[in-house]
Amino acid sequence: MFDLAHQVRLATVFLVVVALGLAPLSAQQASSTVEDVGHCRFNLQNQWAGPYKACIDPSTEAQCEETGKRDQNNGATFAPGACPASGRVGSCAKPDSSVHYYDGDAGSIEVGCGFQGGTWKTGS
């Protein structure tokens, strides 16, 4: 099929492409400091869900601004620290963040959390 030299060249190109693709992510993560990270409160709404009062953490101010523009979301507000614990219907934990819901039917939101690959916890 391919000789060894050609396979080595393909492997090298692949590794360079992967390295270049990951470099911006590393730089972006490194540029966020503890002071830059907080939470984002917003009204979550899309074609499948909402409107719900929600909060996502951790979030940067830039991520919060983007969240507020996604789908039909609105009212996004960034603040330092974690999302408020009081009044939560439940939380959907994903590997990189958690979305906390403050209204809506917990059972319905739990199903949506599962579709997003998250782990639901009622009232947390």
Whether pLDDT at 23 is above 50: no
pLDDT tens for each residue of 26-54? 333 444 555 689 999 999 998 888 899 99
* Structural domain span for residue 74: 36-122
DSSP the chain: ---HHHHHHHHHHHHHHHHHHHHHHHHHHHH--GGGEEEEEEEE--SSS--EEEEEEEEEHHHHHHHHHSTT-EEEEEEESPPP-TT-SEEEE-SS-EEEESSS-HHHHHHHHHHTT-EEEET-
- Is residue 100 in some structural domain? yes
- Is residue 2 in some structural domain? no
- Tally the domains of the chain: 1
Q: What is the pTM of this model?
A: 0.71
- Is residue 27 in some structural domain? no
- Is residue 68 in some structural domain? yes
